[in-house]
A and B are shown apart, each in its own frame.
Chain A
Amino acid sequence: MSSLLRNQKVRNALLQLLYVGSIAALVLAGVVIARRNLAEQGITSGFDFLFKSTGWDVNFTLLPATANDPYWWFFLIGITNTLFLGTVGLMLATTVGTIVGLARTSTNELAQLLGRTYVDIFRNIPLILQVFFWYALITHLPTPRAAHEAWGFLLTSRGLYIPFPNVGGVAMALALLALVAAIALPLWLGSTSRLSQAIGQRRTIQFAAVAAALACTAIILVIGRLPDAPFIDFPALQGLNLRGGLRIPPEFSALAIAIAIYGGSYIAEIVRGGFQSVGKGQMEAALSLGLSPWRVFTLVRLPLALRAMLPILANQYVWLMKATTMGIAVGFTDFFMIVALTINHSGQTLEVIGILMAGFLAINLSLAALFNRLNKAIALKGNQLRG
């Protein structure tokens, strides 16, 4: 026996077995105890509860919801809300970050100082404090009767009201799709190798594609408009409340603003790092070839900077996606809030925590996969020495 223990291979195998076994035992013990505790409270385990109706209302949803809908539908609502808030927040944060990052790399010292101050201030204040701040600010806006008004937009304590076309849901989604195509098509046409024209001579095709996609959008909108209603619905005061238009609830706008400003300060640093990593010689070479400053920027500086930025940016995006869970602080019904509510109402603790983990794992992995593909697509081909 002791000679067996002295054998390195046997010892290693035992050690591994012990480690993995003890972790598995811990988890198993937890699950067993939890099951017993829950059974004592009269809660049966299993996923049957997913098909019971919830009896709650949610304050923000993209999908139709009533209190009679089952739990699984509410989980779906939570995930779409998280993804929607994440997408809006990421787009805003990227815009802010790009502007501030460019200001920080510009040759103008005042712009540099401005960008630097912005980054220093907003990076060093916790996100949740910023969420609380914007939420307090928005809910302290005047009541609908005394709303701030500008160009048909209404700022009130009940939310931001914006004019919105009177169009059915399906037509709206199709129109959005066509709009995305209008942005994506010219980019694809400008770089694909499937066309016979040289890359520099594709202007006309690109313009035609944009025009066609935009025309599609317009046609879908006109066909899909609701009958007997003005094409664009302006919010207006009716009695004590506001009618018409699209209401963006304060929870959503507070979170979106906070993520945009806080995330923007991080993305600004990533953008700055990306641009600084582009060798000065590259730009000088491009200038000496006679390219205009704008073409140097779009053809040399930006693509090279983008390649350096993308992997770090992917991490930041995953982080910001997870940051949407702060919605629970102000009562935005994101995925995590639905999870917390479900635990409180149904008591199906273990199952719901499992769903939470699976949901975030899926979101993280798909974001990471997306960015890996993107990264591969734009990475410089072949081997080269980087210095």
Chain B
Amino acid sequence: MSLISLAIMAFIVWKLLNWAVFSAVFTTSGGPEACQAAAGACWSVIAARWRIIFFGLYPYEEQWRSALACVAVVVMTVLSCIPAFWTGRRIALVWGVGTTVFYVLMKGGVLGLPFVGEEAWGGLALTLFIFVTTCLIGFPLAICLALLRRSELPWISRTTGLIIDGVRSLPLISILFTFAIVLPFALPQWLQGDKLYRVILGSALFFSAYQAEIVRGGMQGVAKGQEEAAMALGMRYWQRIGRILLPQAMRNALPATINQFVISFKETSLVVIVGFFEILASGNAAYGTGEWRFAYVEVYAFIAFIYFVFVFSLSRYGAFLERRMSVSER
């Protein structure tokens, strides 16, 4: 068994290393021709085309803004992973400020920054923007839906349940497609807005339907006595929810919540289907030109690596939290 595993592993590692390092081309000096002659990976396609992968169609001189905006999102995510920020107000502040900084940097038009419309956004920044706004809209919506579903009034909880289950049974692509292409028919002109924001709304709805069930699960894990005690103390509904029920429910639901964030980060890649120039589409464009047509493996490997870094660190963090919580419960 050991021998077989060792053989498989050695074979894969050797093949990969040979392809990615030993016989690969790293410099752009030779151009595409030097790459095609070599047996290994052609990393010079990344060196030559990294700007389009990261920034898409964003104006060349302004691309530092796009990069800075991405950094802002990363800082915001890291901050919200620190337990010191885990109160409703602080986390809302961090996300509010982070998103504003991102939006101002990207769109410009104020503070002497030239204006760049949403249609020119692309690459990593667009992916991050869709992810962040999805969470920002979806999370409060999820809490609302969870509360409505737990409502004691049967018609309210049933209708909400119907909405949640309906959204959950559909594939995300069909929801994105409906919001991007079909919804304009059903909305009056003044309500239609940009396609980007409609898609974000659709993905936020999808996120919140799943997250609502997670929050509801967390609420069911809170002992019934807690709410009864709060009632006995004469607390009103919002006090009970905001101070007793939700904080404990969120704590129960934390691992599943992180998991949901991880999944929805991966699922931002689906907007490529309704025609956005996010990182996957810009990757397709990066190798789509004639001279680099052969270098698709390298481009996909590079994009996969970017996703991997984000998703893997988030999921490791989730695993760390789970361990931490199981220690505190012992």
- Cα(A255)–Cα(B159), bound, Å: 36
Which residues of A lie under 8 Å from residue B173 when comparing CB positions?
325-326, 328, 336
In the complex, B197 has a CB within 8 A of chain A: no
A residues 13-48 near B (Cβ < 8 Å) are 15-17, 19-20, 23, 30-31, 33-34, 37-38
- Cα(A108)–Cα(B297), bound, Å: 33
B residues 153-209 near A (Cβ < 8 Å) are 153-156, 159, 163, 166, 169-174, 177-178, 181-182, 185-188
Given A124-B311, A132-B300: A110 touches B171 (CB 8 Å cut-off): no
Which residues of A lie under 8 Å from residue B315 when comparing CB positions?
123-124
Judge whether A33 and B185 touch: CB under 8 Å. Answer: yes
In the complex, A1 has a CB within 8 A of chain B: no
In the complex, B1 has a CB within 8 A of chain A: yes
Q: Chain A nearest CB: distance from B308 CB in Å?
A: 5
Judge whether A322 and B303 touch: CB under 8 Å. Answer: no
- Cα(A333)–Cα(B138), bound, Å: 32
The CB with the most chain A CB atoms within 10 A, among B155, B169, B188, B303, is that of B169
Q: Chain A nearest CB: distance from B280 CB in Å?
A: 6
B residues 276-305 near A (Cβ < 8 Å) are 280, 284, 294, 296-297, 300, 303-304
Contact of A343 among B1, B156, B172, B182 (CB under 8 A): B182
Partner-binding segment picked from B41-49, B97-105, B264-272 = B264-272
- Cα(A19)–Cα(B147), bound, Å: 14
In the complex, B312 has a CB within 8 A of chain A: yes
Nearest residue in B to A347 (C-beta to C-beta)? B185
Given A37-B185, A111-B5: A16 touches B296 (CB 8 Å cut-off): no
Which residues of A lie under 8 Å from residue B303 when comparing CB positions?
129
Judge whether B307 and A128 touch: CB under 8 Å. Answer: no
Nearest residue in A to B154 (C-beta to C-beta)? A16
Partner-binding segment picked from A50-58, A190-198, A215-223, A355-363 = A355-363
Q: Chain A nearest CB: distance from B100 CB in Å?
A: 28
In the complex, A339 has a CB within 8 A of chain B: yes
Contact of A114 among B9, B269, B307 (CB under 8 A): B9
Q: Chain B nearest CB: distance from A330 CB in Å?
A: 10
Judge whether A360 and B169 touch: CB under 8 Å. Answer: yes
Which residues of B lie under 8 Å from residue A326 when comparing CB positions?
173, 270
Interface flags for A199-240 (1: CB within 8 Å of B; 0: not) read 000000000000000000000000000000000000000000
**Total A-B residue pairs with C-beta atoms closer than 8 Å?**
132
Number of interface residues of B (CB under 8 A): 47
Which residues of B lie under 8 Å from residue A128 when comparing CB positions?
269-270, 272-273, 280
In the complex, A126 has a CB within 8 A of chain B: yes
Interface flags for A149-164 (1: CB within 8 Å of B; 0: not) read 0000000000000000
- Cα(A19)–Cα(B159), bound, Å: 9
Judge whether A360 and B174 touch: CB under 8 Å. Answer: yes
In the complex, B8 has a CB within 8 A of chain A: yes
- Cα(A124)–Cα(B166), bound, Å: 27
- Cα(A15)–Cα(B237), bound, Å: 16
In the complex, B6 has a CB within 8 A of chain A: yes
In the complex, B328 has a CB within 8 A of chain A: no
Given A15-B153, A19-B155, A132-B284: A33 touches B187 (CB 8 Å cut-off): yes
In the complex, B29 has a CB within 8 A of chain A: no
Contact of A30 among B8, B148, B156, B186 (CB under 8 A): B186
Partner-binding segment picked from A133-141, A245-253, A299-307, A374-382 = A133-141
A residues 342-387 near B (Cβ < 8 Å) are 343, 349-350, 353, 356-357, 360-361, 364-365
Given A16-B155, A23-B159, A126-B267: A360 touches B177 (CB 8 Å cut-off): no
- Cα(A17)–Cα(B154), bound, Å: 11
Which residues of B lie under 8 Å from residue A126 when comparing CB positions?
266-267, 269-270, 280, 307
Which residues of B lie under 8 Å from residue A68 when comparing CB positions?
none
Contact of B296 among A17, A124, A136 (CB under 8 A): A136
Which residues of A lie under 8 Å from residue B326 when comparing CB positions?
none
Judge whether B169 and A16 touch: CB under 8 Å. Answer: no
- Cα(A23)–Cα(B155), bound, Å: 12
- Cα(A225)–Cα(B293), bound, Å: 44
Which residues of A lie under 8 Å from residue B188 when comparing CB positions?
33
- Cα(A111)–Cα(B5), bound, Å: 6
- Cα(A132)–Cα(B284), bound, Å: 9
- Cα(A357)–Cα(B6), bound, Å: 49
Q: Chain A nearest CB: distance from B258 CB in Å?
A: 13
Judge whether B280 and A108 touch: CB under 8 Å. Answer: no
Q: Chain B nearest CB: distance from A351 CB in Å?
A: 11
Given A16-B153, A20-B159, A33-B187: A336 touches B171 (CB 8 Å cut-off): yes
Contact of A108 among B2, B171, B185, B186 (CB under 8 A): B2
In the complex, A106 has a CB within 8 A of chain B: yes
- Cα(A114)–Cα(B53), bound, Å: 31
Nearest residue in A to B309 (C-beta to C-beta)? A124
Q: Chain A nearest CB: distance from B102 CB in Å?
A: 22
Judge whether B273 and A328 touch: CB under 8 Å. Answer: yes
Nearest residue in B to A38 (C-beta to C-beta)? B185
- Cα(A339)–Cα(B269), bound, Å: 21
Q: Chain B nearest CB: distance from A265 CB in Å?
A: 12
- Cα(A136)–Cα(B284), bound, Å: 10
Given A110-B2, A361-B169: A325 touches B185 (CB 8 Å cut-off): no
Which residues of B lie under 8 Å from residue A343 when comparing CB positions?
181-182
Shortest beta-carbon contacts, A-B, top 3: A30-B186, A110-B5, A322-B171
Given A123-B315, A356-B170, 16 new contacts (CB under 8 A): A12-B153, A33-B185, A33-B187, A103-B5, A108-B5, A110-B5, A124-B266, A127-B266, A128-B269, A129-B303, A133-B297, A136-B300, A328-B273, A336-B171, A349-B182, A353-B178
- A-B CB contact pairs (8 Å), 26 listed: A15-B153, A15-B156, A16-B154, A19-B156, A33-B187, A110-B2, A113-B5, A114-B5, A121-B308, A123-B315, A124-B315, A125-B307, A127-B266, A128-B273, A128-B280, A129-B269, A132-B280, A133-B304, A322-B171, A339-B174, A340-B177, A349-B182, A357-B166, A357-B170, A360-B171, A361-B166
